[in-house]
Each structure stands twice: as structure tokens, then as C-alpha cells.
Chains A and B, each alone.
Chain A
Amino acid sequence: MEGERNKTSVHKIWDLFASVKLAIVIFALISLTSIIGTVLEQRAEPAKNIQILTKLFGESLAPTMYNILEKLGFIDMYHAWWFVALLIILATNIIVCSLERLPKIWKVVKEPIQPMREEQLKKFAINREIVLKGKPDKVKDAVTGAIKGAGFNYTESKEEKGYQFYSQKGNYSRLGVYVTHFSILVILIGAIIGVFFGFNGHLNLPEGAMSNVAYSGREKVIPLGFDIRCDNFDVEFYGRSDMPKEYRSYLTVIKNGREVLKKSIAVNDPLTYEGITFYQASYGLIPENFGKGIFIFRVISRDGKISNLNLRFGDTFEILNTTISGKIIDLSPALKINEKGQVFTYANQMNNPAVYIDFSESGKHKYSGWLLKRYPETWQLPEGHRVEFIDYWGVEYTGLQVRKDPGVWVVYLGCITMSIGLYIAFFMSHRRLWVRIVEERNNTRVVIGATSNKNRAAFERKINKMLSLLSKRQEGGR
């Protein structure tokens, strides 16, 4: 008795997990709870969400609501135990449902197609009948030609007063749904691999600096197994606007003291080494380094002599073959000139670095002025010399997202599988076709029966075309 009861309850659970009803309940639950998850800001400080709740429910209710939602895990809901449980139930549902149905579907797929009796053919959703001139042996070729023309390889069987041709196509397409379902499991597995064997960190690297670790969360240190160095960081803007066009970091990977890889990365164009990928994520100015950077100038004298200079704040340089020298006495990260010709600093990012240079000739003060990186016309000196301001290096850092996810390929594999599965499920169909030709008063009656598990209308059109070709050909042949 006990065993019997157990069995039925196991059965009940099995049936529950095999049902499509459970699937749609899960779809609904995931959707509805996710809505709450998008309204609340995930993993944010309490104040932020209380503010949101205040807007929705008013001052007095908000703190209580917050406490309830926090207890239920909604502040980090996509990692909450019940959300993970929903995903596990979904996966189990898919597995059990497939196990339950696959054997039957497999039988349908593998079943060879059999000839049918005429009454059966007439019961099919698509059934047609026409009469052709001549005996079956004469029209046979025309009929089989039409079947082949429609793309079917047929089997032939001789019958009492004629023949029957039957054929099926796309029987494997019935598995498309299962390919789709399977792909969901693959994607979930890929995501799990990522959670357990990967990491997601960040690293702020000043220009010229090197690191062999990245950081995750609250300063958790992740060793990389190699060194990464930022050689340079650059922002390119659209024209003279402050709309960024490109962020670019020039990175070098150093393993065991040797430079093994050099690559410049930009948003949408990361660098990967030993499974660890570096993404361009952010950038910024290092305030305490600000006065300590290196000015990179290319000085071209009037007669074309070029010298490349690396200078520091307060340094003096000479223009080749002249007695003119310049001294760097001021700088700004982002300088603008207004209509009146006044200059001012408008941002504390390095949007448009500028240096103020005092020029003298043979020790006597001559003139002074701002050279702006984004305004080449400020580089020209009255005597025809040119001081090109190439870069102010060593004061910015590049913000890198550092990620290792060995599961990502599994996820992509799942995505490819899903695309294929969906294509099969929605755009292919299992079509079956029977054509029976019977002699009748020296003519031939052609009876067609056909089915398709999807998109019957298209198959019907195809069969109509086949028939009209057949009757046309006969008229022409006469």
C-alpha cells in the first residue's frame, strides 16, 4: 500500500513536470517578478530604492515596502534563491517534458511511410482528384515527374489497377522544437560555468603603469597570471565638440618578463589573453599626478628642422637653430577660448589639455601664450616656427573591465543551437504525400492525399500547382 501511494505521488510530480501548464505558469512568474526587478534598482543602496518606492507609494509606505521587498530578495532578485529555483524548475520542466514526448515523436520521425487505401486518402486535410487521358502506364511518367518536380523522392508500389506513389519530407523537422528546448539547457549550463569558473573584475591602469592583478567587488584581488601595462590612453572627439568618438588604450601583455602581446583596444574591440579579456570601460584623470605628467611636443623650426621633445612642468626647451626658447609655466586639462579671446578651464577631464609657454629670445622675454591640443592654429609662432602639442602623458588612467568567462562559448553554442532549432521549428514542416493512380474506363483517375504538420496553406498551393502542371502537360501532349 505504502509503495503504491509513493508511486502515485511520484507520478503526480512527474506529470506536473511534464505538463505545458507548468511551463506557462513559470513563464508568467518569471515575467511578473522580473518586472519588479526592473523597477527597483538592483544591488543599489537602500536610499535609492526607498526614493523610487516613495514616488510609487508615497512617503509613509515606502520604508515598510522596502523592508518587505528586501526580505523577499527583490533588491538582488536575479540572484535570489527563489529566482534561481524558478530557473531550475524551468530546466527540469524542459527535461521531463522532452523525456515524456521524445519517444513518441521519434517514432513518428522514424516511421516509414506506407501506402494507403483510397478512403483513407480522401480523409486527409489536403485531398484532390483528377482524371487524365490514357491508361496508368501511359500517364505514370507524367505523374512521377510532377512528384519529383515538387521535390519529393517517392516509393512506388504496384496495385491492382494502377500504382501508388508515396513520399515524405522533413520528418526530422519535428525535432526542431526539441533542439530549441535543448539549447535552453545548454545556455543555462554555460551561464553556470561562467558563475563558478569565471570572474568579473575591473582595473584602473594609469598611463605607464603595470599590474598583475584585477579587482572585483569590494577590493577582492584576482591574480591574472601575467602583467598588463597601459602604454597610452587617448580620447578622440568629434570635431571640436566634447562628444567622444573613440576611447583607445594601448596595452602590452608581459609574461615572465617578456612582451608577448601588444594591442590597442577600444569600446567594442577588446583584448583577450589566456582567456582573460580586457574591455575599455572608463577613463579619468589622476588628480595627484596632474602636475607630474610629460608633455610631448614636436617642434618644427621655420627651416624644417624637427625635434621631438618630452618635457615636464617648468622645463625649458629650445627651438633648433634659433636662440628662441620656451618655458612651460602653466597648464589646464580642458581649456576653452571664448568670443572675447579669454581662456578658461571648463572641465576636470583631459578634454582639451593646454600649456602656457613663456618664450624668450637670448634670455629676454618675448611673448607668451596658450597652446591647445585640439586647436592646431595655436601652435604657430609669429616667426614661422611651430610647436605641436601632441600629448600630455602620464596623468590619465584607463578603466578596464577584466573578465574571464569560460562558459561564454557554451552560451554561444546554445544560442546557435537555439537559432537552428527555431528555424526548423517554425520554417520547416513534415510533409507527407500519397498519389494513387487507378485505371477507369481507359482513362486514369489520380487521387492525391497529403498532410503537413505546419503551414498547410503553402503545401496546398504547391499541390495545386503540381496538379495544374499535370493537366496542362497532358493537354499540350495531345
Chain B
Amino acid sequence: MDSSFLFGISTMAYILAMIIYITYLAFKKTQIGITATTITIVGFVSQTLAIIMRWKEFYDLSQMGFLRSAPLTNLYESLIFFVWCLILAYLIVEFRFKNRSFGAFVTPVAGLALAFIDISGMTKEIQPLVPALQSNWLLAHVMMSFIAYATFALSFSTALMYLILTTERKNEGAYIFWTVTAGIFVIVLLAMGIDFLAFKVTVKRPEEFIKSFLFKASFLNPSTVVKMLSWTVASAMLFALWKYGSVLKRVIRAFNISDEILDEITYKSIAVGFPVFTLGGLIFGAIWADQAWGVYWSWDPKETWSLITWFVYAFYLHSRMIRGWRGKKVAIVAVIGFVAVIFTYIGVNLLLSGLHAYGGLE
């Protein structure tokens, strides 16, 4: 048994748990809920073992000291760790608040992250560390960033649920906001799935996938027909979500899960995530940059996007203090915050590097 086998088990467990949590949401049988939790725990345990094994494999290979061999050195490993933190945070919330219905909203995020790994076909090999990455600050920096990202992901799920629950009219800004945001998430993922099926690619670095294959089977297809069709289908999906969004609301409403609890969990996860992100993401990142490059802050796109994320969450924390801003507006900010997180984490490497470094070479 090796680490990739265990990772496989955990991926399957999370996807299964996602389905069962959604079923639970629909039927509300305690038995189903317990099954979902059990499967999530099984996935979590095997993922924990897998991470430990990979750590050991890397340690044996790199001979660079225990801490520096932490499996947090590339996008693949960091996504795995992100999912691990997210599931851990979710399990804590499930036990603390004795409510399983968030599971249906959190496990999809975990499932999406793992699916993204497979869809983008990024390398899963253990790679040696380039000199700049050989720092203990890196471990602290990456680890804490991902703990924070996980709490932000949790707040994203609950804020989205909050919006679904509290919006009424179809012409209301908050309603349009959540249907469009959720819709784009689903559409992007579907489009990537289609890319994957169409090209069956395995690439060494995720950048290659984004540069050469992303949306080439749909929105960016050379054929105008396919292109038009993709945009039409996407618009239709958005429209359908907008039109029938209230179905989701009824499903969640069927649970006795109140707006206040959702708002509270959103705030609490951000209240944990914000300090962790400040210390681990920004401060440790700055110390590491100072050691490695001699500048603690250089306004490079990754740093700047971390700062943008930080400001969005500062915006969230302060907007709660403005009279009349509680509730929907604040929840929208929490959702935007996580969009900024995703962009900081993946978008900067993929989209901006596509614009910057390799521009025009092809």
C-alpha cells in the first residue's frame, strides 16, 4: 500500500460522502447522515495516513531534514493539504454545532479541489526542491496559509447557504449574485471536465494545461459552432439556476438550520482564518521572501493578491460594524473573499503567468 493508493481511497470517500450528504439533505434520515459522517472520517483517516507516508517518501528521497521534507512543495501537494484542512475544519464544526447539513456544501468544495487535480492532470510525482524553497519558513508559511484557506472555504460555504436562505425576489441583487457565482463555479468545472475528456492530457505542470487546453473544448474552441454552443449552454445553465434557485432554498429550509447559525459560522471561521492568514500567509511569507530574495515585500502578483485577499476579509470584518450592513451584504463579501482566495492560490500562477512570462511565444 502506498500513498497514492490511500489518496485514491480518500478521494473516492469524499466524493461518495458528497453524494450521501446531498441525499441526507433531501431525505433527512439520521441513518444516512451517520453514514455520510462515517465515510468522511474514513476518507480523512486514509488521507492523513497518505500525507504521512508521502512525507516519509520525500524525506527518504531528498535527505534534507524532516521539516523541509513536508509534502507542501507544489500545487498538487498543497491542494491535498487544503482538502485535509477543510475536512478537518468541517468535522470540527459538525461536532460542535451538531448539524450535518453543511456537509452537502463543504464536501463538494473538497471534491472540486480533488477533481481539479485529476482534471488538470498535474504531476503527482515527488520533485526535488529548488534552492529558494529550502526554508523552514516555507513550511510554516504554506501550512498556515492553507489552514486559513480551509477556514475561508468553510465561510464561503456557509455564506453561500446564508444567501440562498435569505434571498427572496429574483430581481434582488443578492439573489442574482449567488446564482451567478454558484453557476460560474459549476460551469467552469464542467468545462474543465469536458476539456479533460476531449484531450485526455497528462501534463507536467498545471500551467501547461491552462495554457494549452483550458476551455479549448468549449469556450475557446477554434470552431465557431462549438464556441457559440458552449456560450449558449452556459447562459442557459445560469438562467436555469436563476429561475429555479428557490428549489435549493426549500431544500435547505427543510432543515432547521437558521440564518443566525450560518452567519455565526461564517464570522467565526473568518475570525480564525484572518489571524492565521495574517501571520502565516503574509508575515511568514514576508520573512521568507526577505531571507530568500532580500525583499520582504516586492509587490509581485502573488504577494499582491494575498494582500487583496487580506483586504477583502478586512472589509468583511469592518463592514459588520456598519449599521445596516449585517446579513446579506456581509455574506456577499465573504463569498467574494473566497473568490479572491482561489485567485491568489491558483489564478495567479495560471492566468497571470499566462499573461506575463510566456506571453506571445506561441
Q: State the A residues within 8 Å of B (CB).
A: 20-21, 23-24, 27-28, 30-31, 34-35, 37-39, 41-42, 48, 51-52, 55, 78, 191, 200, 238, 243-247, 266-270, 277, 279-281, 401-403, 408, 411-412, 415, 418-419, 422-423, 425-427
In chain B, residues 229-269, which have Cβ atoms closer than 8 Å to a Cβ of chain A?
none
For chain B, the count of residues having a C-beta within 8 Å of the partner chain is 45
Taken together as a complex, chains A and B put the C-alpha atoms of A418 and B290 apart, in Å, by: 18
Inter-chain contacts of A24 with B (CB < 8 A) = 315, 318-319, 322
Given A244-B130, A415-B286, A425-B275, 10 further pairs, Cβ under 8 A: A30-B311, A35-B308, A55-B359, A266-B131, A268-B134, A270-B291, A279-B293, A403-B294, A419-B283, A422-B275
Residues of chain A within 8 A (CB-CB) of B293 are 279, 281, 401
Residues of chain A contacted by B291 (CB below 8 angstroms): 268-270
Q: Considering the chains assembled together, what is the distance between the CA atoms of A78 and B311 in angstroms?
A: 16
B348 within 8 A of A: yes
B125 to chain A, nearest CB (A): 12
| List of A residues within 8 angstroms of B275 by Cβ | 419, 422-423, 425-427
Q: Contacts of A422 on B, CB cut-off 8 Å?
A: 274-275, 278-279
- 23 A-B pairs with CB atoms under 8 Å apart are A20-B321, A21-B322, A27-B315, A37-B304, A39-B355, A52-B355, A52-B356, A55-B359, A243-B128, A244-B131, A246-B131, A267-B132, A270-B294, A277-B294, A279-B294, A401-B295, A402-B294, A408-B290, A412-B287, A418-B283, A419-B275, A423-B275, A426-B274
CB distance from A95 to the nearest CB of B (A): 16
Q: What's the least CB distance linking B357 to chain A, in Å?
A: 9
- The residues of A that contact B290 with a CB separation of less than 8 Å are 408
Name which of A51, A270, A280, A426 has the most chain B CB atoms within 10 A of its CB: A426
Per-residue interface assignment for chain B, residues 319 to 362, with 1 indicating a CB less than 8 Å from any chain A CB and 0 otherwise: 10110000000000000000010000000100010011001100
Tell me if B278 and A419 are in contact (CB < 8 A).
Answer: yes
Q: Which residue of the partner chain, among A243, A402, A426, contacts B271 with CB atoms under 8 Å?
A: A426
The 7 A-B residue pairs with the shortest CB-CB distance, nearest first, are A422-B275, A267-B131, A279-B294, A38-B301, A27-B315, A401-B294, A403-B294
Most buried by B among A27, A243, A281: A27
B292 touches A415 (CB 8 A): no
- Nearest CB to that of A422 among chain B residues? B275
Closest partner residue, chain B, to A19 (CB atom): B322
Are A268 and B304 in contact, CB atoms less than 8 angstroms apart?
A: no
**CB <8 Å contact, A27 and B286:** no
B→A interface (CB under 8 Å): 128, 130-132, 134-135, 271-272, 274-275, 278-279, 283, 286-288, 290-297, 299, 301, 304-305, 307-308, 311-312, 314-315, 318-319, 321-322, 340, 348, 352, 355-356, 359-360
Distance between Cα atoms of A411 and B359 in the complex (Å) = 35
Q: Which residue of A28, A37, A39, A243 contacts B299 across the interface (Cβ within 8 Å)?
A: A37
Given contacts A78-B299, A403-B294, A426-B272, A415 and B130 within 8 Å (CB-CB): no
Q: In the bound complex, what is the Cα–Cα distance between A419 and B287 (angstroms)?
A: 14
Q: Which of B278, B292, B301, B356 contacts A418 (CB 8 A)?
A: B278
Distance (Å) between the CB of B265 and the closest chain A CB? 11
Beta-carbon nearest neighbor of B283 in chain A:
A415
Q: Which of B134, B283, B286, B360 contacts A51, CB < 8 Å? A: B360
B356 closest partner in A (C-beta): A41
| Cross-interface CB contact of A245 among B128, B274, B305, cutoff 8 Å | B128
Find out whether the CB atom of A38 lies under 8 angstroms from the CB atom of B305. yes
Q: Which residues of A contact B292 (CB under 8 A)?
A: 267-268, 279
Contact of A200 with B131 in the complex, beta carbons under 8 Å = no
Tell me which of A21, A23, A268 contacts B131 (CB under 8 A).
Answer: A268
Interface of A is mostly: helix
B269 to chain A, nearest CB (A): 11
Set of chain B residues within 8 Å of A23, measured between Cβ atoms: 318
Min C-beta distance of B314 to chain A, whole Å? 5
A403 to B297, CA, bound (A): 13
Which residue from chain A places its CB closest to the CB of B312 in the assembled complex? Answer: A31
Contact A52 B359 (CB under 8 A): yes
Q: Shortest beta-carbon distance, A221 to chain B, in Å?
A: 19
Q: How far is the CA of A35 from the CA of B343 in the complex (A)?
A: 11
Which of A31, A402, A427 has most chain B Cβ within 10 Å?
Answer: A31
List of A residues within 8 angstroms of B352 by Cβ: 38-39
Q: Which residue of B lies closest to A177 (CB)?
A: B317
| Chain B residues whose C-beta falls within 8 Å of the C-beta of A247 in the assembled complex | 131
Given A38-B301, A268-B132, A426-B271, residue A411 in contact with residue B355 (CB < 8 A): no
Instruction: List residues of chain B with CB within 8 A of the CB of A423.
Output: 275
Q: Which B-chain residue is minimally distant from A56 (CB atoms)?
A: B355
Task: Determine if B295 and A403 form an interchain contact, defined as CB atoms under 8 angstroms apart.
Answer: yes
Q: Give the residue of B131, B288, B308, B359 whose beta carbon is less than 8 angstroms from that of A34.
A: B308
Q: Of B132, B296, B299, B318, which is within 8 A of A411 by CB? A: B296
Partner of A55, one of B128, B295, B318, B355: B355
For A21, the closest partner residue in chain B by CB is B322
Closest to B313 in A: A27
Taken together as a complex, chains A and B put the C-alpha atoms of A191 and B275 apart, in Å, by: 21
Give the distance to chain B from A402, nearest Cβ to Cβ, in Å: 8
Whether A34 pairs with B304 at a CB distance below 8 angstroms is yes
Q: In the assembly, what is the distance between CA of A371 and CA of B235, in Å? A: 66
Q: Choose from B286, B311, B322 the contact partner of A31 (Cβ within 8 Å).
A: B311
Contacts of B132 in A (CB 8 A): 267-268
Which residues of chain B have C-beta atoms less than 8 A from A21's C-beta?
A: 322
Task: Select A27's contact among B272, B295, B311, beta carbons within 8 Å.
Answer: B311
Q: How far, in whole Å, are A343 and B132 apart by their CA atoms in the complex? A: 32
Chain A positions within 8 Å of B295 at CB level: 200, 401, 403
Give A241's nearest chain B residue, CB to CB: B128
Q: Would B322 and A20 count as touching, CB distance under 8 A?
A: yes
Contacts of A42 in B (CB 8 A): 299
| B171 CB, nearest partner CB in chain A, Å | 24
Closest to A52 in B: B355
Q: Which of A31, A200, A269 contacts B308 (CB 8 A)?
A: A31
